[in-house]
Structure 1
Amino acid sequence: MTLQGDIQRSVADHISAFSASGDWLALLGAMPLAVVFGMAHALTPGHNKLVLATFVLGERLGLLKALATSVLLSATHIGGAVAIGFGANWLVSRTITQAGRAPLLETISHALLVAIAIWMIWRANRPATRHRHSGLFAFAAGLVPCPLTLFITVMASSLGTPEVGLVFAVAMLFGVGSVLCIVALITHVMRERAAAILSGFGGAESLTLGFGGSILLLLALVPMVGRLI
């Protein structure tokens, strides 16, 4: 993708420039741009925007919990890349393949999302059951490390400036997190308006939960099946 490539090249140029000059003022001056890079990166396919919206819709999360789930998902997504890039070279060699993919973590993530989706569908038929697992969902959805953050941390470490990778990772977290929070906010507002319209229909909440669970199940199963065929 052209946008992804442009972002990656620009970030690589900034890391290389700092490695050569050690100019922290120039690096910190580029941080607002790095946040924009994170936002643009999050708007490209992936990053579980639809998965998050489906969960917020189905579980009828309150606004604060929806935003907290978005932040936790983003932190897991970015933090996982930082952990792999900085502290687990052996894990990189075992789990990371071409183009920053992590098949093992992707499989675990999708398996956990399948379990959550089935739980949502099951609860749709038992309205009295109120246990919501937004923390588990955020962890499962964010388990796959961010490829761009992984690239940044590995490159920074290879140039002997891991601190630069960490600074860029924080900027990426702000960028990705802001996009996912906006997704959660829009979903919450739309769901509340729809709920007001359907307030006279007694089974609306169960229907929404079952619909959200079904969509989440589909989103999690399709990639798993695709890797098998």
Structure 2
Amino acid sequence: MQRPVHVGLTGGIGSGKSTLGQMLQSCGAALMDADAIARSVTAPGGAAIGDIRTAFGPEAIDSTGAMDRARMRTLAFSSPQARAQLEAIVHPWVTRLSEQQARDAAAAGHRAIVFDIPLLVESGRWARKLDAVVVVDCSTETQIHRVMARNGLQRAAVQAILDTQASRQARRAAADAIVVNDGISLEALRGHATQLARLFGL
């Protein structure tokens, strides 16, 4: 059986990366969503909960037994050391489970597997596992407006998130293909997804 194409999909917060990933999935790709896996391992009973409690104390866990996302988000964006500590707990689980899902997708006959990885460039460890990297790009101002509207965050809070992510230049430099998602319709974005799907043999 031929090995499926492994595609990394990334972009800054508010770029539309997840939307493009879902469109590629609708074209027949298997989609590995790193954020969804991270949420699952930090949910009640999740694989990372015990280590998070040990590292950050019981206050890091909410009344449902899940990681207290608001508390940990604030801590992570105010302390690079805490962010690195949290990533060191969660990211190995994300890698392990996404690779298991990819093996399952390959066994099911998928010809392309898309790894939706917000911090693909920042991690420095995905490049050797991928056949191509697709970057969804838009202006910083567009990112800020989208996230403010979607998440109800203040501009300063969105900027703090952006400051922890790779620059647009760094992401574009890592790309094999760039989709500019600025001022275009969903239909136009879907057109980009269709073109990419053809390139990936779908």
**By the TM > 0.5 criterion, same fold?**
no
Return the TM-score normalized by structure 1.
Answer: 0.25
Question: Which structure: greater helix fraction?
Answer: 1
Higher radius of gyration, 1 or 2: 1
Question: Which structure: greater strand fraction?
Answer: 2
Return the TM-score normalized by structure 2.
Answer: 0.27
